Structure 1
Amino acid sequence: MIIVADENMPALDAMFGHLAEIRCYPGRAIGPEQVRDADILLVRSVTQVNQALIDAAKTLKFVGTATIGFDHIDVAALEARGIPWSNAPGCNAEAVGEYVLTALLTLAQRLSVSLEGKTLAVIGAGNTGSATARRAQALGMRVLLCDPPLQAAGDPRQFVSLEAALAEADIVSCHVPLIRDGEYPTWHLLDEARLTALKPDTWLVNACRGEVVDNQALLAVKQRRPDLKLILDVWEGEPSPMTALVEVTDIATPHIAGYSVEAKLRGNWMLLQVLAKQLDLGPVADFTQFVPTAEIASLRLSTPVNQSLLARVARLVYDIDSEDRRFRQWQTQAGGFDRQRKAHLNRREFLSLTVGHSGQAAPDLWSELGFNKER
């Protein structure tokens, strides 16, 4: 049996090596030629599992994407062939929530403003949106949830319309899947009219899919509205985002909001569980067996907790400033976008760090934000 996989998927040998021969390629380079004799295909979001690729894979028996989203997979074509497939819902929710929190704390420190009391509109209240909302509430922010599909499905949480969310928000954070048609399309959900109508000094965060925000319109609005602040991890035209938009973005990163060590391992492990069930292999090894120990595993603090301290600790786990600088240096170089994604291998999640205080009880805030609180 042959497994073809994205080379950026960690621990492939440890998780899948006992099942088959593994052939690894850059995600964007996986095409018809690479999958001709593949039995299993394991990808992330940059591989287009389209009709041409599926037609070429004559022996394909399973496709897995170690990501929440699956808009890069032609599900109808797989189902027409009777090929089982799976995504990994929730695998990177904590990583995305922590990315947004770290970015907000970093931008707030640059601008010398407090996040407490600000209104955050979370557009898309699924796994990543909920993880973001929890952390924002822990910081004392007011959170508005907007998710018409979940609201229609009977989710008991309180929701507001998109128009109401955008009208009230100091910060807007996008967490929706990319849907081009149907009852709830999200392609260019934030178009020029909605972007123009944002309150003065609004911050816009996009950590879902680049096409959810009309990038041409965003650039035009930003040029007219320098008061708007942008935190963008995803871009239209990846891996070649608009250079002019990158230049006016306050924090810019190369689609790595969900790229923690734990998130990528968790995505792989979730696919392993599905595959083991498909092949009737019995239970798989516990997820924790695949997670390495963090370089900095504990931290003891002696100063009172404030926003500045939270920002410093968050950036100790994930240095988003350095990521932003590297992105600006590399993104105009050929292959720079994907090189930086590949180099982003060692970011850990907050839970890998145990936080305690000398001389005082550690506040619940640390665990609410996702850190491992010292007992």
Structure 2
Amino acid sequence: MQKILVARPIFPDVVERLKQYFEVDWNQGEALSAAELAARLADKDGALTAGEPIGAAAIASAPRLRVVSNMAVGFNNFDMAAFNAANVLGTNTPDVLNESTADFGWALMMAAARRVTESEHWLRAGKWQKWAYDSFLGTDIYGSTLGVIGMGRIGQALARRARGFNMRVMYHNRSRVSPQIEAELNAEYASKEHLLRTADHVVLVLPYTAENHHTIGAAEFALMKPSATLTNIARGGIVDDAALAVALRAKRIGAAGLDVFEGEPSVHPDLLTVSNVVLTPHIASATEATRRAMANLAADNLIAALGEGPQAGNPPNPINPEVLGKARS
């Protein structure tokens, strides 16, 4: 049987599916170090990951490795140049998490705008003694302007939710979506600068790339309304977290909601000391149904890419399909 590594704990029934086809090395403990990951990959034909970095060194140390299936939409943990050079296939799990992630982005935006966690902490501390007209005044969602940076599948799902809140929708993307999609979403394309100056609520849903590193930093915060909120459900590194902490403390912007962070699971210590930010531990897709769908799709990709199962040789979600059928180099 071919050998695979499941690099972190996932649903046991999904691992049982994989055992029907492969000899499975399942890491059920803490995250593997780079050296541990390389050692476990050394004799493997495939791997199922969920964010573990796979680069040229790991690929070189695993001469049999032909596919790495990522249990995520984003694949910035993959060095795709190294994958392509070695004819190693990468796969991901798009679409199955669109609605759950959009739901959570909406919840995070609303929690930031209406100061939900800030007021809850105040209440839990026993500080609520009376009603006051100016307690925890926030920012309205209904009738406001939503700015979406990254109008892909999840960005479009967010824009659809905005219709129920009678919001104006603006978006910025590396390329415009079709006129049909713009009309369906009642969304208008804008430059990043115009969007930041205009939007009451900015949500980030763009992939992390070297070009997108610190897409939002001090210069961008200077453009935003003092009452505006920023929500990041994309990837850490898109926002300059240190600059965000400064902007929040100075009330340069009103509030922020963050599900992802630079260097996560570490969080910039300054973000932990400001009250006008909602912080969650990368859980935007965390419903049982969605995480199960992601795990099963990652398994489907791995099984098919290694020539097994009903979709043998035709994995559903190849990132670099040009290497399919090529010998490992």
Normalising by the residue count of structure 1, what TM-score does the alignment of the two structures yield?
Answer: 0.68
Q: Give 2:152's aligned residue.
A: 126
Please give the residue correspondences for 1:212-231 in structure 2 after superposition, counting only pairs within 5 Å: 212-225=238-251, 227-231=253-257
Indicate whether 1:256 and 2:283 are aligned: yes
Please give the residue correspondences for 1:40-59 in structure 2 after superposition, counting only pairs within 5 Å: 40-45=46-51, 47-59=52-64
Q: Which of 241, 260, 267 lines up with 1:234 in the alignment?
A: 260
Q: Give 1:171's aligned residue.
A: 201
Normalising by the residue count of structure 2, what TM-score does the alignment of the two structures yield?
Answer: 0.77
Quickly say closer, same or farther: Cα 1:205–1:73, change in 2 above 3 A.
Answer: same
Q: Give 1:348's aligned residue.
A: none
SS state at 2:220 partner? helix
Letter in 2 for 1:172: V
What CA distance in whole angstroms lies between the structure 1 residues aligned with 2:86 and 2:189? 39
Deviation at 1:275, TM superposition (A): 3.5
CA contact (8 A) 1:123 1:175 kept: yes
What CA distance in whole angstroms lies between the structure 2 residues aligned with 1:67 and 1:172? 23
Deviation at 1:215, TM superposition (A): 1.3
Quickly say closer, same or farther: Cα 1:102–1:268, change in 2 above 3 A.
Answer: same
Letter in 2 for 1:135: R
The percent identity for this pair of structures is 26
Please give the residue correspondences for 1:105-144 in structure 2 after superposition, counting only pairs within 5 Å: 105-107=110-112, 108=114, 110=116, 111=137, 113-144=139-170
Q: Give 1:75's aligned residue.
A: 80
SS state at 1:21 partner? strand
Which structure is richer in relative contact order (CA contacts within 8 A, separation 6 or more)? 2
Letter in 1 for 2:309: L
Indicate whether 1:88 and 2:93 are aligned: yes
Q: Give 2:106's aligned residue.
A: 101
Quickly say closer, same or farther: Cα 1:218–1:104, change in 2 above 3 A.
Answer: closer
Q: Give 1:159's aligned residue.
A: 189
Letter in 1 for 2:264: E
Instruction: Please list the CA deviations of residues 50-103 of structure 1 after superposition, one character each: whole Å capped at 9, or x if unmatched.
Output: 112111112212111011111100112122111222111223211210111222
Q: Give 1:9's aligned residue.
A: 10
Q: Give 2:39's aligned residue.
A: 33
CA contact (8 A) 2:230 2:257 kept: yes
Instruction: Please list the CA deviations of residues 140-190 of structure 1 after superposition, one character each: whole Å capped at 9, or x if unmatched.
Output: 222212112345x8885241111111111111000000111xxxx211111
Q: Give 2:222's aligned residue.
A: 196
What CA distance in whole angstroms lies between the structure 2 residues aligned with 1:33 and 1:224? 47
CA contact (8 A) 1:2 1:20 kept: yes
What CA distance in whole angstroms lies between the structure 2 residues aligned with 1:154 and 1:223? 40
Deviation at 1:106, TM superposition (A): 3.3
What CA distance in whole angstroms lies between the structure 2 residues aligned with 1:28 and 1:83? 21
CA contact (8 A) 2:14 2:299 kept: no
What CA distance in whole angstroms lies between the structure 2 residues aligned with 1:246 and 1:233? 13
Quickly say closer, same or farther: Cα 1:155–1:87, change in 2 above 3 A.
Answer: farther
SS state at 2:216 partner? coil
SS state at 1:15 partner? helix
What CA distance in whole angstroms lies between the structure 1 residues aligned with 2:8 and 2:104? 23
CA contact (8 A) 1:146 1:161 kept: yes
What CA distance in whole angstroms lies between the structure 2 residues aligned with 1:264 and 1:38? 25
Letter in 2 for 1:267: M
Quickly say closer, same or farther: Cα 1:154–1:106, change in 2 above 3 A.
Answer: closer
What CA distance in whole angstroms lies between the structure 2 residues aligned with 1:187 and 1:199? 22
CA contact (8 A) 1:67 1:91 kept: no
What CA distance in whole angstroms lies between the structure 1 residues aligned with 2:115 and 2:249? 23
What CA distance in whole angstroms lies between the structure 2 residues aligned with 1:33 and 1:79? 22
What CA distance in whole angstroms lies between the structure 2 residues aligned with 1:55 and 1:192? 40
What CA distance in whole angstroms lies between the structure 1 residues aligned with 2:82 and 2:179? 31
Deviation at 1:3, TM superposition (A): 1.9
Q: CA RMSD in A?
A: 2.3
Q: Which moved more, 1:263-272 or 1:239-248?
A: 263-272
CA contact (8 A) 1:96 1:132 kept: no
Q: Give 2:23's aligned residue.
A: 21
Quickly say closer, same or farther: Cα 1:226–1:194, change in 2 above 3 A.
Answer: closer
Quickly say closer, same or farther: Cα 1:154–1:9, change in 2 above 3 A.
Answer: farther
Deviation at 1:109, TM superposition (A): 6.7
What CA distance in whole angstroms lies between the structure 2 residues aligned with 1:28 and 1:122? 35
What CA distance in whole angstroms lies between the structure 2 residues aligned with 1:155 and 1:243? 44
Q: Which of 292, 310, 314 lines up with 1:282 in the alignment?
A: 310
Unpaired runs of 5+ in structure 2? 117-136, 183-187, 313-329
What CA distance in whole angstroms lies between the structure 1 residues aligned with 2:180 and 2:7? 35
